[in-house]
Amino acid sequence: MTGTVSRQRAAAGLALVLLAVAAIMFPVVFSSPVITNYAIYALIFIAVVTAWNMFSGFSGYISLGQAVFFGSGAYAVGIAARNWHINGVGVFALLPLAAAVGAVIAVPFGLIALRVRRHTFIVITIAVFFIFQLMAYNFSFTGGSVGVAAPFLPWSPTTFNDRFYYLMLGCAVVAVVVAVLVRRARFGLQLRAIRDDEDRARGLGVRTMRVKLSAFVLSATITGLVGGVWFLYLTQVQPPSGFDPLFDLSLVLMAFLGGLGTISGPIIGALLIEPAQLYLTIRYTNGYLSEILLGALFLAIVIFLPRGIVPTAGEWVRRIRTRGRPAVPPASQRAPAATGLRSEEPATSDEGRSRLTGRPEASGETEGAGRIT
């Protein structure tokens, strides 16, 4: 058993190293700006969908307002660079501001939206999204419908994409590492408990509002940061691009396709959907084609793959591994815990006393009471 686990860990480690090498070498092998553009957008969505999943996937609160943080991060960098007259590569020093703006907006947003659940929560996130889009259209400091342009970056066109590729790769890695740490931590456990039964979690001492808000803010911080990078890459932001309703729908679709609440699922979803979406938008003049296909794909996923690729694949692997085995092993192979009320390791210390109560263990009456079913 230990050997199998070690082999699995070694295989996972090797796969991770190969993945890292492939990611680092990608712009070297595929030097075409068209290809690296696809890769940059895929990385942008990997980072944002991972951040979105860190809150929505773990907690079960499906947000359709992530573009609020993305657009605000973009606008924050643009407005600050314009107003403070920051030019050249100095604008990258504003990226922490983009992250901070995302976090600051998430606090009041979360305090309002997280008081309600399920459909009501979704509706509130959509409402907040449209408030921000309208503000971007109507405030003078956002540039109205013209938006904000980024300062010129003195980079050669041949290396422009490569630099942004590595910058976005760094953001994506940070987002995934944070998501893994959150999932493994007690904080992540509490989020998943909230997803299963929030009221029960409260009754077991989980400060649900604090936990949800922390995850919401963390998710917004990463999204704001990525929004800032995206703005510098695109060199401009306008209300319909910064606050794009399709952006949120794409995130949800990516997470559902890959596997909501898993680490690898949303990444796989982003890698499949974003390049396809970009290709359709560039290849066909009908701008609505990708939206129509996205909608159809979402329906197909909900009907045929409701748990997403990763959980469904995991289930298939388990089925294949356990094929032909009896549901309940023969009594001779069963561990004591499965046959009686006691586990393999007795609950008593050497003195024959319960670790819990310090009293002698219950008599054999319960020992022989049969299997707990």
Partner 1 sequence: MTVLLRTEEVHKAYGGVQALDSCTLEVEEGTVAGLIGPNGSGKTTLFNVITGYAKADTGEVYLAGKKITNVTPDRIFALGIGRTFQLTRIFASLTVLENMLVASRHGNAAARRRAMEQLEFVGIAGHHAELAGTLSYGQRKLLELAYVLVADPAVILLDEPAGGVNLSLVNHITERIRELNAAGKTFLIVEHNMEFVMGLCDQVTVLDSGAVVASGPPGIIRTDPRVLNAYLGEDLDPENPGEDE
* Binding site residues, partner 1, CB under 8 A: 185-186, 189-190, 192-193, 195-197, 199-208, 335-338, 340-347, 354-359, 362, 365-366, 369-370, 372-373
**β-sheet bridge partners, residue 149:** 236
Q: State the minimum distance, in angstroms, from the CB of residue 116 to partner 1.
A: 17
Phi, psi of 44 (to 5 degrees): -55, -45
Pairs from 6-15 (Cβ < 8 Å, separation ≥ 24): none
Pair type for strands 148-149 and 236-237: antiparallel
* CB closer to partner 1, 156 vs 196: 196
Q: State the minimum distance, in angstroms, from the CB of residue 327 to partner 1.
A: 11
* CB closer to partner 1, 3 vs 203: 203
* CB closer to partner 1, 8 vs 159: 8
CA 121 to chain centre: 18
d(CA 134, CA 71): 12
Q: State the minimum distance, in angstroms, from the CB of residue 95 to partner 1.
A: 32
CA 271 to chain centre: 13
DSSP letter string, 201-228: HHHTT--HHHHHHHHHHHHHHHHHHHHH
Q: State the minimum distance, in angstroms, from the CB of residue 186 to partner 1.
A: 4
* CB closer to partner 1, 185 vs 292: 185
Q: State the minimum distance, in angstroms, from the CB of residue 234 to partner 1.
A: 38
Q: State the minimum distance, in angstroms, from the CB of residue 53 to partner 1.
A: 15
Phi, psi of 142 (to 5 degrees): -90, -5
DSSP letter string, 173-191: HHHHHHHHHHHHSHHHHHH
* CB closer to partner 1, 14 vs 369: 369
- How big is the CA angle at 259 (ends 256 and 264), to the nearest 5 degrees? 125
* CB closer to partner 1, 90 vs 360: 360
